[in-house]
Amino acid sequence: MTLNTRHLFSYAAGALASLAAINAADSTSTPPETPAGTSIEGDYTGALRPRAHFSPPKGFMNDPNGMFVDNNGTWHLYYQYNPTDIVAGNQHWGHATSPDLYHWTNQPIALAPPNSTAGVFSGSAVLDPNNTSGFFPNTTDGVVAIYTLNTPERQVQELAYSYDNGYTFTTYDEGNPVLDVGSNQFRDPKVIWYEDHWVMVIAYASEYTIGIFTSPDLKDWTHASNVSHVGLLGIQYECPNLAKVPIGNSDSSNVTTSDGEGEYVLTISLNPGAPLGGSITQYFPGSFNGTHFTPRDNAARLSNFGKDDYAGQFFYDHPVSIGWASNWQYTNSVPTGNEGWRSAMTLPRKNYIQDNGIAGYQLVQEIYDLSPILKNRLQINDDAANGTTSAHFTNAVYFDINVTLPDSPTFETVAGINFTFAADGTDEYLKSAYAFAGSVPYSVWIDRGHLDGFEHPYFTDKFLGSQVRAAKRIQGVFDRSLFEVYVDGGAVVGTSVVFPSTPLTKLDIGSSGLPEGAQVSVAIWELEDTWA
Ligand SMILES: *[C@@H]1O[C@H](CO)[C@@H](O)[C@H](O)[C@H]1NC(C)=O
Ligand SMILES: *[C@@H]1O[C@H](CO)[C@@H](O)[C@H](O)[C@H]1NC(C)=O
Ligand SMILES: *[C@@H]1O[C@H](CO)[C@@H](O)[C@H](O)[C@H]1NC(C)=O
Ligand SMILES: *[C@@H]1O[C@H](CO)[C@@H](O)[C@H](O)[C@H]1NC(C)=O
Ligand SMILES: *[C@@H]1O[C@H](CO)[C@@H](O)[C@H](O)[C@H]1NC(C)=O
Ligand SMILES: *[C@@H]1O[C@H](CO)[C@@H](O)[C@H](O)[C@H]1NC(C)=O
Ligand SMILES: *[C@@H]1O[C@H](CO)[C@@H](O)[C@H](O)[C@H]1NC(C)=O
Ligand SMILES: *[C@@H]1O[C@H](CO)[C@@H](O)[C@H](O)[C@H]1NC(C)=O
Ligand SMILES: *[C@@H]1O[C@H](CO)[C@@H](O)[C@H](O)[C@H]1NC(C)=O
Ligand SMILES: *[C@@H]1O[C@H](CO)[C@@H](O)[C@H](O)[C@H]1NC(C)=O
Ligand SMILES: *[C@@H]1O[C@H](CO)[C@@H](O)[C@H](O)[C@H]1NC(C)=O
């Protein structure tokens, strides 16, 4: 994350608030108010609180950090966290754990800055079973966190290690920082293991460059190569990831996961300056040989057609990712601040690369197995073509639509499937649809412009994602103040924060104009309230 550029570019109210917070922090050098080990209690009853997505107990959250799975199978999510205010600043690493990526337990703060002028910025975590770091006298479960320590003068990379599966960390005071290039725009290290050495990707944020460094022990880092000026530039590059993901074919049921084959993907988040404004993530499928990454083609591809999916990170050694569901343009102003918290994470996603023919290789982001929270099926309709299927829900709702078309289908001039979330007794609604035919065929769109809970000059309200062929499956989750739609198992994904002034509790799924012989099946599920 960047505090400096956000001041220059974000909307005045949020920027001034966070500037005030940072100036207050700059004026003293006392120890942090909220040291590591502090437990933060949360009130999860607010009307805008997501029930199935992660959000922090209170205060302000941004980038996911340090994600790994411990040897007990527990998923660890750390995150950029201001525990003392509802705007960015005073950056700590918050921490939560989960057995299934949906039921989260808040843990005490994992990392705190050494004093109030410093910030623990984004980074990653690895398992060190071979004790390459030498930190672990008595365990093969060692965890090492690699993060940026931000001070007014520098951004340097530091280590902290854990003997207890990532619940508590010791900072490597005798050796930190382990990487310092003398820059104040050098951050967000993401580390992976490649055959016989560690590899870090890191952003030279204001030089449009991702540096690749290697190390035998996580302590001594050698510059290996740069990836510069690729795809979209925006104003700064942040939060790179290099991950090996399986390759699947266009039938998502056939993904090669077990043979160790895979494609590398480099993700680069950019902010500000996304095509839709503010922050977004682009990605590059390609090959990696231990020191150099080579993109497969010159295309810039975005991982989301909405505005609210940034700084996504892959779990260490797992092709599973989570993003930050917000946008720096308005994140410091969103109305969840009235409930004492700001920002949620995206749904967890299982990723693979698909050969999309002439369009090249594409990242597919499936919703990670939802079955642990699919508690109550509200509707099932196997004959939903040209009809409407409706359900009432209270918390979060999931819908799943399969479409089987006849060979060589011809569509009416307007043909599609819409999903409308409404409040009883008001005229507010959230509208989204997949269009098979019409002004933009084979496209999915979200319109959050009919909700009354938030106004902001950059809170754009209409989004469109397109693909080249007719959808076979459309899934979506509406979760109080967050909506996500996934087409064809995550080939096209739209994530949008939404702010109704009263809770939306009714879903209508309608379809029309589908050709004779088309079959549409719809299921609607109430999701478990994971915070109850
Ligand atoms: C705060 O900590 C940073 C990082 O260790 C250090 O560079 C800086 O001098 C400290 N500032 C004060 C005022 O103690
Ligand atoms: C650990 O050591 C084994 C055996 O040498 C090796 O195959 C593996 O790649 C190493 N992994 C890490 C993360 O050090
Ligand atoms: C890990 O490495 C350190 C430093 O070389 C060593 O002191 C320690 O005994 C090693 N731990 C194990 C379990 O081998
Ligand atoms: C392992 O060693 C560390 C460092 O000496 C110590 O803090 C920890 O308690 C030890 N753990 C066990 C299980 O002996
Ligand atoms: C790992 O699981 C074992 C067995 O359930 C448990 O005793 C141990 O406390 C767990 N360790 C951590 C750090 O969660
Ligand atoms: C890599 O990029 C950084 C940032 O632009 C630059 O300082 C460095 O010289 C580059 N290294 C090489 C080998 O090109
Ligand atoms: C899955 O893909 C592999 C490799 O492309 C192919 O050999 C296999 O037949 C496919 N299996 C199915 C069920 O489509
Ligand atoms: C990796 O690729 C780079 C650039 O093509 C090349 O210079 C280097 O020798 C390669 N390294 C290995 C180990 O193949
Ligand atoms: C959704 O589709 C149904 C069936 O085509 C149609 O009657 C309805 O007007 C549409 N609703 C919206 C909000 O677009
Ligand atoms: C849907 O309605 C259109 C008329 O609007 C009709 O031509 C078509 O056969 C219907 N499709 C199905 C699957 O019933
Ligand atoms: C849609 O298809 C998927 C995979 O084929 C299946 O798991 C799911 O249950 C289907 N959903 C509906 C509503 O038919």
pLDDT tens profile 294-304: 999 999 999 99
Rounded to the nearest angstrom, the distance between the alpha carbon of 518 and the centre of ligand 11 is: 16
Residue 420 Cα: closest atom of ligand 9 = 13
Find the residues whose C-beta lies inside 6 A of ligand 9. Answer: 388, 418, 420, 431, 510-512
**Partners of 473 in beta bridges:** 402
pLDDT confidence tier of residue 13, bands split at 50, 70 and 90: very low
213 close to ligand 6 (CB < 6 Angstrom): no
* Domain assignment of residue 327, yes or no: yes
Work out the number of other CB atoms within 10 angstroms of the CB of residue 27.
10
Question: Are 149 and 184 members of one domain?
Answer: yes
Find the residues whose C-beta lies inside 6 A of ligand 8. Answer: 289-292
Mean pLDDT within 472-490: 97
Ligand nearest to the CA of 70: 5
Query: For residue 36, which of 114, 127, 141, 150 has the smallest C-alpha distance?
Result: 114
Mean pLDDT within 343-364: 92
Of 292, 294, 296, the one to substitute when testing ligand 8's pocket (max ligand atoms within 8 A of C-beta) is: 292
Rounded to the nearest angstrom, the distance between the alpha carbon of 72 and the centre of ligand 5 is: 6
* Domain assignment of residue 532, yes or no: no
pLDDT confidence tier of residue 357, bands split at 50, 70 and 90: confident
The confidence score (pLDDT) of residue 30 equals 59
Question: Are 340 and 378 members of one domain?
Answer: no
The confidence score (pLDDT) of residue 139 equals 92
C-alpha angle 450/455/458, rounded to 5°? 105
Name the more confident of 5 and 140.
Answer: 140
Nearest residue (CA) to ligand 8, atom 2: 292
pLDDT tens profile 322-338: 999 999 999 999 999 99
Cβ atoms of 150 and 119 within 8 Å: the answer is yes
d(CA 204, CA 242): 15
The confidence score (pLDDT) of residue 22 equals 42
Q: Which domain holds residue 318?
A: 5-366
14 pLDDT higher than 50: no
Residue 127 Cα: closest atom of ligand 2 = 13
Question: Are 445 and 506 members of one domain?
Answer: yes
Question: Are 132 and 207 members of one domain?
Answer: yes
Question: Are 357 and 389 members of one domain?
Answer: no
The confidence score (pLDDT) of residue 10 equals 34
C-alpha angle 496/241/200, rounded to 5°? 155
pLDDT tens profile 510-519: 999 999 999 9
Last residue of a domain, one of 337, 366, 395: 366
Query: For residue 130, which of 193, 213, 81 has the smallest C-alpha distance?
Result: 193
Mean pLDDT within 438-463: 97
Domain tally for the chain? 2
Residue 291 Cα: closest atom of ligand 8 = 1
Of 151, 159, 171, the one to substitute when testing ligand 1's pocket (max ligand atoms within 8 A of C-beta) is: 151
pLDDT confidence tier of residue 253, bands split at 50, 70 and 90: low
Rounded to the nearest angstrom, the distance between the alpha carbon of 98 and the centre of ligand 5 is: 13
Q: Which amino acid is at 337?
A: G
Question: Are 92 and 168 members of one domain?
Answer: yes
d(CA 459, CA 452): 12
Percent of the residues in the chain that have a pLDDT greater than 70, as a whole number: 92
Q: What is the DSSP letter of 24?
A: H
Give the CATH number for residue 495: 2.60.120.560
Ligand nearest to the CA of 390: 9
pLDDT confidence tier of residue 248, bands split at 50, 70 and 90: confident
206 close to ligand 11 (CB < 6 Angstrom): no
Mean pLDDT within 263-290: 97
d(CA 332, CA 416): 36
Question: Are 63 and 198 members of one domain?
Answer: yes
* Domain assignment of residue 513, yes or no: yes
* Domain assignment of residue 448, yes or no: yes
pLDDT confidence tier of residue 5, bands split at 50, 70 and 90: very low
**Partners of 485 in beta bridges:** 476, 494
Give the CATH number for residue 46: 2.115.10.20
Question: Are 382 and 248 members of one domain?
Answer: no
428 close to ligand 11 (CB < 6 Angstrom): no
The confidence score (pLDDT) of residue 249 equals 60
pLDDT confidence tier of residue 255, bands split at 50, 70 and 90: low
36 close to ligand 10 (CB < 6 Angstrom): no
523 close to ligand 11 (CB < 6 Angstrom): yes
pLDDT tens profile 373-410: 998 999 999 999 999 999 999 999 999 999 999 999 99
251 pLDDT higher than 80: no
pLDDT confidence tier of residue 29, bands split at 50, 70 and 90: low
Please identify every residue annotated as catalytic.
63
258 pLDDT higher than 50: no
31 pLDDT higher than 90: no
Of 388, 403, 419, 511, the one to substitute when testing ligand 9's pocket (max ligand atoms within 8 A of C-beta) is: 388
To the nearest whole number, what is the mean pLDDT of the chain? 92
pLDDT tens profile 181-237: 999 999 999 999 999 999 999 999 999 999 999 999 999 999 999 999 999 999 999
4 pLDDT higher than 50: no
Last residue of a domain, one of 320, 338, 366: 366
The confidence score (pLDDT) of residue 11 equals 32
Nearest residue (CA) to ligand 3, atom 8: 137
Question: Are 90 and 149 members of one domain?
Answer: yes
133 close to ligand 2 (CB < 6 Angstrom): no
The confidence score (pLDDT) of residue 260 equals 52
pLDDT confidence tier of residue 262, bands split at 50, 70 and 90: confident
The confidence score (pLDDT) of residue 19 equals 35
20 pLDDT higher than 70: no
Last residue of a domain, one of 341, 366, 391: 366
The confidence score (pLDDT) of residue 25 equals 44
3 pLDDT higher than 90: no
The confidence score (pLDDT) of residue 372 equals 98
Question: Are 320 and 380 members of one domain?
Answer: no
Question: Are 347 and 395 members of one domain?
Answer: no
Residue 431 Cα: closest atom of ligand 9 = 13
Nearest residue (CA) to ligand 3, atom 3: 134
The confidence score (pLDDT) of residue 405 equals 97
Residue 290 Cα: closest atom of ligand 8 = 13
Cβ atoms of 273 and 8 within 8 Å: the answer is no
* Domain assignment of residue 94, yes or no: yes
Cβ atoms of 109 and 356 within 8 Å: the answer is no
